Amino acid sequence: MRYLEGIVLKKWSAAVLAGALAVGALAGCGGDDAGSGGGGDDKLVMGFSQVGAESGWRTANTKSIQESAAAAGIELKFSDAQGKQENQIAALRSFVTQKVDAIILAPQKETGWDVVLRDAKRANIPVVLVDRGITGSPDSYATLIASDFVAEGRMAGEWLAKATNGQCNIAELQGTTGAAPAIDRAKGFREAIAKHPGMKIIEGLSQTGDFTRAKGKDVMQAFLKSPNGGQIQAVYAHNDDMALGAIQAIEEAGKKAGTDIKVVSVDGGKAALDALAAGKINCSVECSPRLGPQAFEAVQAVLNGQTLPKQQVVKDRLFDSTNVQDVMARKDYWE
């Protein structure tokens, strides 16, 4: 797939963009605010459609892309979809109408993108996906930069199996229905615990918390009050925010999070590491939101005529009591 057919690359040379991106990488998380103004003929203009700000991870992801754009001197047209796919589709159509040079998309869910991405392709506007994948034609986007969500779920399940000697009754707080992280983290976790007959997700105690702390708390409260609530020995949350909400519910129910009920999550941000150091979370699998520099490198490559692999996997780590103090001492985390 080549998006360069019909494009006159008069705005940026690869060397200029590479140099700017290098500055962005050095700036790290301390860059200026994104969106440097109206821009002239020499300014690269990009659209960025974000799911929303439903979690600390999502906010950090937005910050990474905005700061990388600002450091590179790129005009970034940002759209917060507030958790609604229809808002993202409208934003992408607007980007196409405005004839941006490229689009970064963090899709709300996997399906429903065929028409608008076809429009972008016809307009010779490359699309780079971040965080979540989509179904449909792989020719509709240049590359996906994301963690391996199945592997994250598997890591969480394997850790819990080892910590409980393969004997555990589990409640699950799922992410947004239809979202790739929710689907894949559930799949990987189930693959891991299926190897242990003594491990099970309690019937009726696997529901969506929409990746938010408030709903994670609400759902966990309902779990604890349910007829099977007394069986819960661990909670597996698809992200840190839901885990932190679950901890509030556990403590308000008079139980001790991390001891009476083990807590396992995915994201590995500072708030979760603080809870881990305090013994309230037992394990958090990292999912780095700092995808900005890699996303802009991908844009540079596509605009320079390169064909990219369909997925670029971000390597994740697992945090527990054995390494949390060292990680926090080195400030080797996102927040």
Q: What average pLDDT does range 129-148 have in this prediction? A: 94
Distance CA 183, CA 175 (A): 8
* Per-residue pLDDT tens digits for 270-295: 999 999 999 999 999 999 999 999 99
Distance CA 333, CA 82 (A): 26
Average pLDDT over the chain, rounded to an integer: 90
Superfamily of domain 149-287+321-329: Response regulator (3.40.50.2300)
16, pLDDT greater than 70: no
pLDDT, position 43:
85
* Per-residue pLDDT tens digits for 218-228: 999 999 999 99
pTM value?
0.83
Hey, which CATH number is domain 14-147+288-315, 3.40.50.1580, 3.20.20.70, 3.40.50.720, 3.40.50.2300? 3.40.50.2300
Check residues 23 and 234 and name the one with the higher pLDDT: 234
* Per-residue pLDDT tens digits for 248-258: 999 999 999 99
7, pLDDT greater than 60: no
Tell the burial category of 233 from Cβ atoms under 10 Å away from its Cβ (0-12, 13-18, 19+).
Answer: middle
Which phi-psi region, left, alpha or beta, contains residue 331 (left: φ > 0; alpha: ψ -120 to 50)? Answer: left
Q: How far, in Å, are 5, 11, 141, 278, 317 from residue 304 at the CA level?
A: 11, 12, 16, 48, 32
pLDDT, position 271:
97
CA angle 210, 127, 290 (to 5 degrees): 55
237, pLDDT greater than 60: yes
Q: What average pLDDT does range 4-25 have in this prediction? A: 41
What are the domain boundaries of the chain? 14-147+288-315, 149-287+321-329
Is there a shared CATH topology between the 14-147+288-315 domain and the 149-287+321-329 domain?
A: yes
Q: What average pLDDT does range 47-75 have in this prediction? A: 95
Q: Which of 7-16, 122-131, 154-163, 302-311 is predicted with the least confidence, judged by mean pLDDT?
A: 7-16
When pLDDT is cut at 50, 70 and 90, the band that residue 41 belongs to is low
Q: What percent of the chain has pLDDT over 90?
A: 86
> Tokens representing 328?
């926090």
Q: What average pLDDT does range 81-95 have in this prediction? A: 97
Q: How far, in Å, are 217, 226, 330 from residue 222 at the CA level?
A: 9, 6, 38
106, pLDDT greater than 70: yes
198, pLDDT greater than 80: yes
